[in-house]
Copies of this chain bind each other. A is one copy, B any other.
């Protein structure tokens, strides 16, 4: 597998600096953030390491040159909006930009775009399924046409009261994935698998590796720590950040040895990108870089 990181944690660095850092630290690849310039609606969002709105052949050439120079690959382009936001106009803005990211991926020869399917968080899964299909069937077809695979991250996007009750991404569980892939069975439609979300949802993150092995296009290495004392106080009906904490790999409840053990047996040989969302490591650029360095060192035990 290729060990990399998600560039969202380095918003203060230019693309070239990101790649130089990756190279210096021994990362194989980076997932580059492609938010529209100027938008920063929530924590970890709004970072633009590739400005897909303006990317042309020349820009793509420049990016490829930088990659060559630094000996680092792009694992995927990342953009994580809510394409099923209740306001259709807002949702359309996300869909349009997602298409731009897809085109950029083709232009760069990357072949992988990571995102969310989104969710109208005020509605049940069933109630919005027709809309999910309406939005995503054309999007997946669009990706197919551009020879790009879409990896949906399995993040519920439900952390605090802002996203209550339903969260902002439908693709949270094997039960829902089966429905997704049955209704939109394209080989371009798959997962950006992050085991940490399964931990706080109290789900086994190993079984899906086998069942969905043909669908796992990309992997995020994030970790979380469940705090039983806090959970005892509020229960699973509380908003999830009331009872767990996102942490670096090795500082949470994911058993990474077990994870890489089963993942390697499925034949997966793609990117595994560290995603830092550990508030204890976010005080400064230096601290965030340390977080990436420490995470890589830890994961090298298993990959």
Q: Is the CB of B298 within 8 A of A294?
A: no
Which 9 pairs of residues, A with B, have the shortest CB-CB distance? A165-B165, A201-B235, A251-B261, A264-B280, A204-B232, A236-B236, A298-B301, A173-B235, A175-B233
A210 to chain B, nearest CB (A): 9
- Name the interface residues of A147-174: CB closer than 8 Å to any CB of B: 156, 158, 161, 164-167, 172-174
Which residues of B have CB within 8 Å of A124? 161, 164
Instruction: Name the one of B200, B231, B301 contacting A203, with C-beta atoms under 8 angstroms.
Output: B231
The reply on A99 being an interface residue by CB < 8 A is no
Q: Is the CB of B264 within 8 A of A281?
A: yes
* Complex alpha-carbon distance, A156 and B236, angstroms: 11
The reply on A55 being an interface residue by CB < 8 A is no
A52 to chain B, nearest CB (A): 32
A196 to chain B, nearest CB (A): 13
* Complex alpha-carbon distance, A92 and B80, angstroms: 45
A174 to chain B, nearest CB (A): 5
19 A-B pairs within 8 Å (CB atoms) are namely A124-B161, A124-B164, A164-B165, A173-B235, A174-B232, A175-B234, A198-B235, A201-B237, A203-B232, A225-B258, A225-B261, A225-B262, A247-B261, A251-B261, A252-B261, A265-B279, A265-B280, A294-B300, A297-B301
